[in-house]
Amino acid sequence: MRIAITGIGIITALGNGLSANREGLIKGVPHVGSPHILPTVHSEWPVGEVPYTNSELAHITGEESPEMTRNVLLGLAALKEALDDGGITDNIPFVNATTVGGMDITEKYYPQWRNAEWRHSQLFEQHETDFTTRQLALRCSLTPVATLSTACSSALNAIMYAAELLLTGQTLQAVAGGTEALTRFHLNGFASLGILSERICRPFKDDRDGINLGEGAAYLVLEEEEHAKQRGAKIYAYLSGFGNRCDAYHQTASSPDGEGAREAMKAALTMAKLKAQDITYINAHGTATVNNDASELCAIQHVFGDSTPLIESTKPLTGHTTSASGSIEAVFSILRMQQNGFRHVLTNAFGFGGNDSSLILSKEGSDLLPAASTIPTATEKVSVETDTDYKTYIPLLQARRMTEQMRCLVIAARRALEVSGKTIDGIVIGTRYGGMVPTAALLDQLTEEESGLSPALFMSSTHNAAAGTLARLLQCKGYNMTVVDCHPGETARQTARLAICSGEAKNILVGEFDEKVPSLQPLLDAAGCDYQPAATAYILCSD
């Protein structure tokens, strides 16, 4: 099977649409500066804002809702272009990626809610990361399949997920990518880590000192080649290989030797049946932090050696668009292929929790093996409601840094491994709300003063913090994924099954958890959110 890219849609700080971004990429002029649309007190940190207000985005997308999240508006602009560009009129599967969800609405109204001035359930409904996916699917007549939330590798993982749907024969077409809007939560969270630069970022330079955040969205239509040719669709490029691995090293920092990145690139090359010297261009993750750039270069040098190709980071042009960066930079890689005649290009996206992903795009298609028809079997499911015996399963120092529900998940995971007697090479976690305890605490801090947020809370607030924590504790350096959904357990199982059938892992730890925050319970009740905070885990096996 050959997977073709037949539609592209994109919006970034360079402008709205493929044409504007192609022109901006050719000119190479950074579109990063002081925030003008984001309502923040911080002008010292340059950002890559999409140059349209929410009202202007609503006009561009035909959206009439006065209070739609910026994340949805950005996503709509790119998604509608991708579907129109690809000539897609059918209801096809949609795989989306994002992290902040409706945080711009949440942070706007949270102070009123906290002070009991406002109890509208819409606040919590729009906060859900999966809400973004469902709204985009509804407005574009698509079938939402999954929401990937693995921090900065999210969108690349969404593209891989869509490819797996094709490889397993579940569809002939799918659209995938990611959207991410700047928020005060977002900006101040990264500031708490001390990795924002006050200058335009300088990836791989000796004087690099940090990230410029950005926002935007990009989506790609993936299609089985013969189906695309039969309907006369144009083909931009082919997806010829991908890989996802985990550093299992640190919640935010990359390992010094870039092990996760190295293994992700090697997996992508193996799937594509290519040698290192076949790659002529790498769109690097290249965030311009001292740690990330050194780690990525170490990984690239290990894989490519003397055949190291041209390496570029396009983040100075747009800022680091975090969860959307993988799909945005996949589009940039395709544009570089067209501009320079490259045959095979590789793009990297690395996220918090050591979640590392690589994708290879090619001028000509290469045959990918159809996924196996394996029906994985599940071991006994373990459910844990209290963390009373956590000392048996978690080192004390590490346990102190976890929420109660995170400890419950770790206990469930370790018990599931004990019961099954299996060795795992992958982790998939499903959640609806993620780390609500640290998120609520950060919102409280942000309501008091827009500075001085807790870095520990910010790291724990990301949806894939649980999967990253488990990977480190269990030293599982293979496939690692986090899905966000109204039915997280079901979606996590489907994600693990796809990975096993596609040959990315053999035995996957599947977990599910959510955190109950007493102060948020009235809001949850108003929104009709009924869930139990018990953590569960089991092993999905290929044998």
- Answer for the pair 236, 8: CB distance below 8 angstroms, yes or no: yes
Residue with tokens 């009235």: 522
Distances from the Cα of 305 to the Cα of 203, 217, 224, 277, angstroms: 20, 33, 34, 9
Residue with tokens 């931009």: 236
Strand partners, 237: 5
Residue 506 burial by CB count (10 A; 0-12/13-18/19+): exposed, middle or buried? buried
Residue 344 burial by CB count (10 A; 0-12/13-18/19+): exposed, middle or buried? buried
Q: For residue 358, how far is the Cα from the chain centroid?
A: 13
Q: Annotate 227-238 with DSSP letters as a single string.
A: HHHHTT----EE
- Answer for the pair 219, 246: CB distance below 8 angstroms, yes or no: no
CA angle 58, 64, 69 (to 5 degrees): 60
Which of helix, strand or coil describes residue 449?
coil
Residue 250 burial by CB count (10 A; 0-12/13-18/19+): exposed, middle or buried? middle
Question: Which DSSP state fits 306?
Answer: G
Closest CA to 321 of 354, 283, 295, 290: 283
Cα–Cα distance, 425 to 504 (Å, whole number): 9
41-45: long-range contacts (C-beta < 8 A, 24 or more apart)? 41/450, 41/451, 42/187, 42/188, 42/191, 42/450, 42/451, 44/198, 45/187, 45/191, 45/196, 45/197, 45/198, 45/212, 45/213
Provide the annotated active-site residues: 152, 285, 320
- Answer for the pair 507, 540: CB distance below 8 angstroms, yes or no: yes
Strand partners, 47: 33, 213
- Answer for the pair 485, 140: CB distance below 8 angstroms, yes or no: no
Maximum alpha-carbon separation in the chain = 63
Which of helix, strand or coil describes residue 235?
coil
